[in-house]
Amino acid sequence: MQQGTNWELIKNGMFKENTLFRMAISLCPAIAVTASMKNGILMGVAVLFVQVMVNMTVSSIRQFINPRIRLPIYMIVIAGWVSVIDMTMAAYAREAYKQIGLYIQLIVAFASILAKAESFASKNKIVPSMMDGVGMGLGFLLAMIVISFFRELLGKGTLLGLDIAGGKPLLIMVLPAGGFFAFGLLMGFFNWIDIRFFGGKGAGGAGGH
């Protein structure tokens, strides 16, 4: 059940099924770690890695999985890859890990990863599954970059730690409340672009958890 070319798969994950802006799932880290751009990017990269590896692993063992116990098996695969990225970051990115370590471990519970393992990787060959994972992961990474860009710039006046604005223009943006403001406004903005320029219907399909 291959769905279009590889490029279409990537595009689909990045835009049409964007985890944050279109499906409105996995919002917890999108609010919690986006106060600084560095953390946002690291989180996005971790999700990208897990998404791709889980899709590839599930796809490669799809013939051997007994359908009755497929969900526990997906969970073991996801937990395994999350442990890999968790330990890697704990070893090589100490400072950032202290701040976002909890959310790295929470990738286990990401709806988009389990959903893609179930709905795509278990029915497709390795390469399309990988491309689908790349698309979903890149979509998440891009969304995290956009949100954390605005929050760090407006809240701290810095970008990736470099002083840009000189001062703290809008303190609220680095607080959790500001996370919701930034996310809501950006989601609205991308909806507006979608409706205005691409004839879409706007997001909110998933109902969001």
Partner 1 sequence: MAGEKKEHELIVSVSPHVKGEETVSRIMWSVSLALLPAFLMSLYYFGPGALFVTALCVITSVLAEYLYQKALEKKITVSDGSSFLTGLLLGMNLPPSLPFYIPIAGSFMAVVITKQLFGGLGYNIFNPALIGRAFLLITWPKAMTIWKEPTAIFVALDAKTTATPLGILKEEGIGKLLEAFGDKSNLYMQLLLGNRAGSVGETSVVALLLGAAFLLYRRYITWHIPLSFLGTVALIAWVFGGKGAFFTGDPVIHLLSGGLILGAFFMATDYVTCPSIRKGQIIFGIGCGAVTMLIRLKGGYPEGVMFAILIMNCFAPLIDRAVKTVPFGTVKK
Contacts to partner 1 by CB under 8 A:
170-172, 175, 177, 181, 185, 188
Q: The dihedral of CA 163, 20, 143, 102: what is its sign?
A: positive
Minimum distance from CB of 102 to partner 1 (Å)?
24
Residue placing its CB nearer to partner 1 in the complex, 4 or 169: 169
What would the DSSP string read from start to end of 30-73? HHHSTTSHHHHHHHHHHHHHHHHHHHHHHHHTTTT--GGGHHHH
Tokens of 125: 């060959």
Residue placing its CB nearer to partner 1 in the complex, 188 or 205: 188
CA–CA separation, 134 and 111 (whole Å): 16
Minimum distance from CB of 20 to partner 1 (Å)?
19
Residue placing its CB nearer to partner 1 in the complex, 165 or 177: 177
Minimum distance from CB of 203 to partner 1 (Å)?
15
Minimum distance from CB of 169 to partner 1 (Å)?
9
Residue placing its CB nearer to partner 1 in the complex, 31 or 170: 170
